[in-house]
Amino acid sequence: MITRKRLAAAVCGLLAALAVGLPPAGAAADEPAAKASPKVELVLDVSGSMRARDIDGQTRMAAAKQAFNEVLDAVPSEVQLGIRTLGADYAGDDRKLGCKDTRQLYPVGPLDRTEAKTAVATLAATGWTPIGPALLGAAEDLEGGDATRRIVLITDGEDTCAPLDPCVVARDIAAKGIHLVIDTLGLVPDAKTRNQLRCIAEATGGTYTSVRHTDELSGRVSQLVDRAADPVITPVAREGARQCAGAPQLEAGLYSDREKFAEHRWYRVDVLPGQELRASVSIAADRAVNKDYGVMLRAVTVHGREIVRGAEAGDGRTDVISTGLRYPNPPLEDADGVKPAAETVCLQVSNSFSAPPSVKTDPGLPLELTVDLVDAPDEASDVASFGLGRGWWLLAVLVLTGLVAGLLWGWISRWRVAVWRTN
């Protein structure tokens, strides 16, 4: 935001430069740093099952090529785009070779539309479906830099290269804290494929979409590429500690972490006198868990005194469970011009999740922590709706309404009796 002070300084600098015939010194210092270009890699399944002819009267492979041509024409100029294939080269029966069949068809970088379209045009439905290895390869393709990163996986079947479970691969990618989102699109998917692709997407905060028509495919892929060009706020990865003493120091912002089942994690926040700490936490059940679980967020002092807590419980019908808390730090008077010191508040995040023995508990469950520091509200104004939030006003209104209604009803009844006796 350009403030009046900055605007005045810029004008003065410009006038001074014009007076001496030189460009304004340091003019570029106030310019915002160039934003890193977002990176997207499209991962296309080119396995033998893509020969099936069930999308608008054409094969799945033909529909994918048509959609890719439309998507490539609409890619924003600021997006660095790449294309990776799986199952495009090996048509044999050797499973070991088939599960290595993934390669980068077009490198991630500024898009040459003609070159990319030519590369896609040469593809033919061929071999296996090594989704896990393809995701690992795509993650490597997108490494480096601070840009937002997105993988868009288009496939018509589940992975054929177990035990390298692509859902576990996605969780491992998410656990690295590199904020790489995987979106999945299933072409005419069956139930197993839907479940696997949904699991991959949910593990990284991505989306799953079922596709049965060419226009749906091109429209959805274009939408996801556009979303990479205009991303939402990306959480900052922070690893919580086992106790407050060694916890990471947080400022206002959005943070991500991984918490194991039934674990406690600690973070530290400095709250100045006159500020209010507002914190919330969400933990996602990205795999099968037992029913009856909960999450708790506690704010305690460095000496262990609990200030406030928030807790929430679930019973297996929700994928994400959240809670939050508010802690106002009362303002203090300056003593002889000495600025009051901030209070260090320790935030403890705990969960009571458990899982069946067959479910892998590593990496931990995705955790997202929001921290905000605002001016503490005045005690007199901290009453909502004229005090209705505290209950007293509501009780008084109900009593007064009942009294008035009773008096009116009594008066009307007496009037009716008097009229009846007169008649």
Is 369's pLDDT higher than 90? yes
Least confident range from 131-135, 223-227, 345-349, 392-396: namely 392-396
Is 332's pLDDT higher than 80? no
Report the pLDDT value the prediction gives residue 234, as an integer from 0 to 100: 72
The full set of domains in the chain, from first to last, is 39-229 (3.40.50.410), 236-332+340-376 (2.60.120.680)
Report the pLDDT value the prediction gives residue 408, as an integer from 0 to 100: 75
407 or 92: which carries more pLDDT confidence? 92
Report the pLDDT value the prediction gives residue 340, as an integer from 0 to 100: 77
Mean pLDDT score, 32-53: 87
Question: Is 151 within 8 Å of 181 (Cβ atoms)?
Answer: yes
What percentage of the chain reaches a pLDDT higher than 90?
51
Question: Is 319 within 8 Å of 285 (Cβ atoms)?
Answer: yes
CA distance 10 to 260: 52
Q: What is the pLDDT of residues 226-285, one digit of tens each?
A: 888 876 677 888 999 999 999 999 999 999 999 999 999 999 999 999 999 999 999 988
Report the pLDDT value the prediction gives residue 279, as an integer from 0 to 100: 93
Is 318's pLDDT higher than 70? no
Report the pLDDT value the prediction gives residue 33, as an integer from 0 to 100: 55
Burial letters for 154-193: b for 16+ Cβ neighbours within 10 Å, e otherwise?
bbbbbbbbeeebbbbbbbbbbbeeebbbbbbbbbbbeeeb
Coil, helix or strand for 282? strand
Report the pLDDT value the prediction gives residue 378, as an integer from 0 to 100: 59
Least confident range from 25-29, 234-238, 321-325: namely 25-29
Q: What is the pLDDT of residues 146-180, one digit of tens each?
A: 788 999 999 998 898 888 899 999 999 988 877 78
pTM, whole model, 2 decimals?
0.65
Q: Where residue 421 falls among pLDDT bands split at 50, 70, 90?
A: low
Coil, helix or strand for 279? strand
What percentage of the chain reaches a pLDDT higher than 70?
81
Report the pLDDT value the prediction gives residue 397, as an integer from 0 to 100: 66
387 or 74: which carries more pLDDT confidence? 74
Report the pLDDT value the prediction gives residue 423, as an integer from 0 to 100: 60
Coil, helix or strand for 364? coil
Mean pLDDT score, 20-32: 43
Average pLDDT in the chain:
83
Point out which residues pair with 312 in neighbouring strands: 295
CA distance 62 to 56: 10
Report the pLDDT value the prediction gives residue 221, as an integer from 0 to 100: 93
Q: Rg of the chain over CA atoms, in angstroms?
A: 30
Coil, helix or strand for 156? coil
Residue closest to 285 by CA, chosen among 259, 265, 309, 254? 259
Give the residue carrying structure tokens 């795999």: 287
Is 3's pLDDT higher than 90? no
Report the pLDDT value the prediction gives residue 247, as an integer from 0 to 100: 96
CA distance 194 to 202: 12
What the block records as the tokens of 338 is: 């000495």
Q: Which residues contact 316 (CB under 8 A, 6 or more apart)?
A: 289, 290, 291, 292, 293
Report the pLDDT value the prediction gives residue 205, as an integer from 0 to 100: 83
Mean pLDDT score, 313-339: 78
Mean pLDDT score, 115-128: 94
Report the pLDDT value the prediction gives residue 336, as an integer from 0 to 100: 63
Is 351's pLDDT higher than 50? yes
Report the pLDDT value the prediction gives residue 261, as an integer from 0 to 100: 94
Coil, helix or strand for 303? coil
Report the pLDDT value the prediction gives residue 228, as an integer from 0 to 100: 82
Report the pLDDT value the prediction gives residue 51, as an integer from 0 to 100: 94
Residue closest to 287 by CA, chosen among 332, 258, 319? 319
Mean pLDDT score, 130-153: 92
Report the pLDDT value the prediction gives residue 412, as an integer from 0 to 100: 75
